[in-house]
Structure 1
Amino acid sequence: MSEATKSVFARKALTTIGWESDVLIRVDATGRIVSVTPESGLESGAYAVDVLLPAQANLHSHTFQRAMAGLSESRSPAGRDSFWTWREIMYRFLDILDPEDIEAIAAFAFVEMLESGYSSVAEFHYVHHQPGGGTYAKFGELSERIAAAAGTAGIGLTILPVAYMQGGVDGRALAGGQLRFGNDLDHYLKLAEEAKKAARSVSPDAGFGVAPHSIRAVNERDLQALEQQFPGVPFHIHIAEQIPELEEVQAAYGQRSMSWLLDHMPVSERWCLIHSTHMNEGETARVAASGAVVGLCPITEANLGDGIFNGVHYLNAGGRFGTGSDSNIRISPSEELRQLEYSQRLRDVSRVTLARDGKSCGRTLYDAALQGGAQALGRSSGSLEPGNWADMIALDTENATLLGLSGDRLLDGWIFAGDRHAISDVWSAGRHVVQEGRHRDRAAILKTYKARLASILERV
């Protein structure tokens, strides 16, 4: 879908109207949807699928952590492990990665995202420098590597260069693995311009946003400067993820993390509040009213022992959310939604906790994550309608988890019983990158990843 207007024909498609039959979707040479026509015939040259859905956007990823899978599951000598002990392992791991490693890992992670049903990703990119903090000859070297990996895989990229300026709310200096993240404000502004150029070099649908790492890592003055310096672009931040974080912020600022942020910054629709795990009822209502998207990463949050997001109250308040693969220990939009719902069920000793508006649970979750993900990336996607990028996935109704199902039950079957094997095809801005469940360049990208990973594991 790169040279001329082409079309996809779906026997069933989830459109802005709902489930419709015999839907013909035409896509232009730029990768945007031109028309969506139900009750159509199968025209010559159209690519036919069983079921077509808008594809999810992955709103939070650190691709380099994909190669850490399996390296942090042993109990430490201290006897009680947490996010903070995991973080030390992560710092040691990233300190051995070179630019070729980072690009190869990212390319393979992007392949897995596409095969699992994500068509775009917001890469929360915070490894900027050499081990020890020295800059590369090209200041934006690692941003260019991430962009190149996205181009190789064909995924829609929103790059989020991360601002990381201090080691804690007390302003202490960065140390150890954090040195690869660090920039003062002037250097960050230069880095952001390099990242923006790198993204633009990939494809017309690539985007750019800003990501102050957290209120631990960026002080109030610099946070306000970033918000003012980059108007109108996605603005992502980690917030209220860990109880020790809340305690540190409370001790320094006299407020809980989320309350401080809401009181001191103009949180709005362009903000994505990553994790937001530990909010009280007042904060939950205020975030929902702000129009911001909460970026949930339930698989990673479970793996790190973060806690359980208050999804029931948040959705009751009209809150917006999307999902991300974060540490990429397991990449699957359907499993992120499943984990989100199951965490609520376990906490509340209940079932079907997040279903709304007479929809099934799977449909409720899928619709909400579509809209929240598109908003968080600042991407024209999330629905099959003219003007949007052709970010689409097809489900194979011959997959065992989908047999005999139709309508919303297809989503329930995929989310609560299926996995990526139920996906036959994926398009990202019209790029037909997955066919018959397999990425078009999987073999070559996997070969490079395997070689780099073998070298990495020798150095660990």
Structure 2
Amino acid sequence: MPVTYWLEHAWLDPLVEPGVLLTADGGRITEVRTGAASPPPGATVLRGLTVPGLANAHSHAFHRALRGTAQVGGEPGTPPPGRNDPAVGAARPPTSFWTWRETMYATALHLTPDSYFDLARAVYAEMALAGITCVGEFHYLHHQPDGTAYADPNAMGEALIAAAADAGIRITLLDTAYLRGGLTADGYLPLEGVQRRFGDGTADRWYDRWSRLRGGEHARIGAALHSVRAFSDRDGYAAFAERTRDVPVHVHLSEQPAENGACLAVHGRTPARLLADAGLWGRNTTAVHATHLTDDDIAVLGGARATVCMCPTTERDLADGIGPAPALQRAGSPLTLGSDSHAVVDLLEEARAMELNERLRTRTRGHWSAADLLRAATADGHACLGWPEAGRLERGALADFTTIALDSVRTAGPPPRLAAETAVFAATAADVRHTVVAGRQVVADGRHLLVPDVAGALATAIAAVRG
């Protein structure tokens, strides 16, 4: 049955239009009409600025349990207890990516399919409250703690797909090949400890398990290489690329200088060049982070029209660095955004952080317009997740959209013609009032309609994981 929404203001890329009537039927937008000064009888009124649904292109749902906990550091200069990280080769600083990773591993150890469903359902509901209508879940937590498969080898991935359905959002499950425990200048390391949960043993076994995954109306199946640290040339980059040519493929790339140094020592090439020589990069691939790149790396990614997913709130939280986003875009790579470790779940913050990071680095302003940043958070994000029919408010597109308040303490004041700038540079996830997926309201007036107490669900799920 058709549903009509009256949008007080709508971002119809690249302009903001007042008084827009949008009709949805069968999960798609069937009509968009401007110039409707007032809502007609029976229309659902969405006051504020309505934009296409936001696409969170990079998520690790279980990392949400680390929020707050992983912010605790030691005294400067005092190495934490535990072994040295082999990828660094020396005692780790107390507040580096590598120490954070140990905290993450400890969390990963305790999850089961049931507890992961509960946690992911709450996390995805938090995303819906933030205006996110589609998530790319970079999933590598496959097996039991000792590395043996569950009776259903895809129990964990299927829990994530079911969790997204319960939370009312779309998902692309980026099932991840993770076969090695790390890369040093001396070569690859075996999986150890909790990493055994991540591995399938061989690329063929990963492919066999991955091939059994099935999507649905709200879910699509993609693939991922965790990184060159966790998958070697002997595991078959070229074969992986060929097997996954027709689906979205994501890869953590050059997130840390240590990864680049080890790759150069072992392969004589950067991670980007190593994967290029195997034929991996193309329009279906997305490099996540891409923080520490050479000029040649940038040319390789841009020339292949590979997408790059920036995760600014995680990259700054982990002190990873600022990636060369403007150079990548100039070279030909579309840019997208992800909340990654969920230090916060706020795609508006990710969007403005990309611009503001670049202002700090260059001491100049205006690298991207508000429309550019909204495009990264919507159409380009959906495209890299295999949903090219989403991310636009136009006839035939998926009826996925979100409305941002223009009358909160953060957004009140600017004229409506600057609503896009207000949303990107002032609003937060707390200003999202409505979220619609497939024409159905999932969030109304700031309340999740399918998960009534999202904060309570998060608290309960996280407490269960922490024991």
TM-score, scaled relative to structure 2: 0.90
Match of 1:58 in 2: 56
Whether 2:134 is the aligned partner of 1:116: answer no
Counterpart contact for 2:16–2:420, Cα < 8 Å:
no
Q: Distance in 1 between matches of 2:45 and 2:61?
A: 33
Q: 1:172 to 1:394 in 2, by over 3 A?
A: same
Following superposition, the deviation at residue 304 of structure 1 comes to 0.9
Match of 2:16 in 1: 19
Following superposition, the deviation at residue 445 of structure 1 comes to 4.9
Following superposition, the deviation at residue 168 of structure 1 comes to 3.0
Following superposition, the deviation at residue 133 of structure 1 comes to 0.8
Q: Which structure 2 residues correspond to residues 222-301 of structure 1 after superposition, within 5 A?
A: 222-301=236-315
Whether 2:425 is the aligned partner of 1:412: answer no
Following superposition, the deviation at residue 211 of structure 1 comes to 0.7
Counterpart contact for 1:275–1:295, Cα < 8 Å:
yes
Q: Distance in 1 between matches of 2:374 and 2:262?
A: 35
Task: List per-residue Cα deviations over 1:138-172 (Å, max 9, x = no partner).
Answer: 11111111111111100111111111111234343
Task: Count residues in correspondence.
Answer: 443
Counterpart contact for 2:172–2:222, Cα < 8 Å:
yes
Whether 2:206 is the aligned partner of 1:188: answer yes
Whether 2:364 is the aligned partner of 1:366: answer no
Following superposition, the deviation at residue 36 of structure 1 comes to 1.3
Q: 1:16 to 1:303 in 2, by over 3 A?
A: closer
Following superposition, the deviation at residue 405 of structure 1 comes to 2.6
Q: 1:140 to 1:157 in 2, by over 3 A?
A: same
Q: Distance in 1 between matches of 2:153 and 2:376?
A: 38
Secondary structure, counterpart of 1:64 in structure 2 = helix
Secondary structure, counterpart of 2:452 in structure 1 = helix
Match of 1:451 in 2: 460
Match of 2:33 in 1: 37
Match of 1:69 in 2: 67
Q: Which shifted more, 382-391 or 436-445?
A: 436-445
Counterpart contact for 1:291–1:320, Cα < 8 Å:
yes
Following superposition, the deviation at residue 350 of structure 1 comes to 2.4
Counterpart contact for 2:112–2:156, Cα < 8 Å:
no
Among 444, 451, 465, the alignment partner of 1:442 is 451
Among 7, 10, 28, the alignment partner of 1:10 is 7
Following superposition, the deviation at residue 68 of structure 1 comes to 1.1
Q: Which shifted more, 280-289 or 441-450?
A: 441-450
Q: Which shifted more, 443-452 or 130-139?
A: 443-452
Task: List per-residue Cα deviations over 1:394-437 (Å, max 9, x = no partner).
Answer: 12222232223345622222222221232210112223111111
Counterpart contact for 2:109–2:194, Cα < 8 Å:
yes
Q: Which structure 2 residues correspond to residues 352-363 of structure 1 after superposition, within 5 A?
A: 352=366, 354-355=367-368, 361-363=369-371
Secondary structure, counterpart of 2:322 in structure 1 = coil
Following superposition, the deviation at residue 120 of structure 1 comes to 0.5
Whether 2:195 is the aligned partner of 1:178: answer yes
Following superposition, the deviation at residue 257 of structure 1 comes to 1.5
Secondary structure, counterpart of 2:211 in structure 1 = helix
Match of 2:390 in 1: 381
Whether 2:224 is the aligned partner of 1:211: answer yes
Q: Distance in 2 between matches of 1:381 and 1:260?
A: 33
